[in-house]
Amino acid sequence: MKPTDFSYYLTRFLTKYLPGEAGASKNTIASYRDTFILFLRFLGDEKNIPADNLTLNMITKNIVVEYLDWMEEVRRCSTATRNVRLAAIHSFFKYLQYENPDNLLEWQKVLSIPVKKTKKKTINYLTLDGVKLLLKMPNIETMAGSRDLTLLTLMYETGARVQEIIDLTPSMIRFDKPYTIKLIGKGNKARIVPLMEPTIQILKRYMEEQGLLKNSSNLYPLFFNKRKEKLTRAGVNYVLAKYKNLARAENKTLIPEVFTCHCLRHSKAMHLLQAGVNLVYIRDILGHSSVQVTEIYAKTDSKQKREAIEKAYTDVSPSEEPEWQENENLLTWLNSFNK
């Protein structure tokens, strides 16, 4: 069977354009691939269009909108997930504009589909006391406890995303002063984050226990499971949930019931902000694309807002009773007014 133009361009988009020209990460490519797997399933189940017969001229703006609605209504996906799928489709059709401009008008109609507004969630983060309590929970006398303490400490200290922690290798840590760690973020962008002495000591102890300080171990995963395999996202989430529950059993007021790995990242950002660190530096540490993304923490920090208001506050309240209260004739008139 002769391949269709859709299969030709989608294959080139996923295997050549994204990893090559766009420099997309493996996770981004996997997410985009999943978008089109679901799209083909939708076309087969709902439109009776088999993948083998699908051509580019069959894909219209209306078809794409129906697919996005199907994602929300049938698959019960969130608005945020819908927007992720739309971003993948937009990226493909931007690529098509230059690679196959024959149907440019329809491609631009697809690109005109707007991202759906989502409800802004409040940022969940721990206080410093909450972080201290959480990091007290692992039993460092065991190998698993030592690994978990190192994992959680590093996640908090660097403000790293889960995938950035999973992808760490011993070679990415600098043990000479100034201590640093290299994180590979979204779009394979690397950034260097400083480490403090206490974190380095925890790291050294853990890596020595696991034999990770040898040169031969440089490219091993920094964090792995019992089978010596790199930890998965589910594995990291399991570790945090375990100690979150232990910490809540000790003090529920310091640890919220809903607390994810990303909340540790939020916690570090908020603590840097409260310590007076410039938003530009926080942006660089977190690996945000722009300072506008980082500004969300400034908008959230009620403590900083209160301190700013208190600093700018001028007492305008009267220090003594108004004169009219001492004027008996005026008071008598006001009391009888409009009776």
Contacts of 181 (CB under 8 A, 6+ apart): 154, 158, 168, 172, 173, 174, 192, 193, 195
Q: Rounded CA gap, 146 and 155, in Å?
A: 14
Q: Rounded CA gap, 269 and 288, in Å?
A: 11
Q: Which residues are catalytic?
A: 161, 186, 262, 265, 288, 297
Q: Rounded CA gap, 261 and 233, in Å?
A: 10
Q: Are the C-beta atoms of residues 40 and 54 closer than 8 Å to each other?
A: yes
Q: Are the C-beta atoms of residues 244 and 255 closer than 8 Å to each other?
A: yes
Reported in sequence order, the residue ranges of the chain that DSSP labels E, i.e. its strands, are 173-174, 180-184, 190-194
Whose CA is closest to 157, among 194, 187, 208, 132?
194
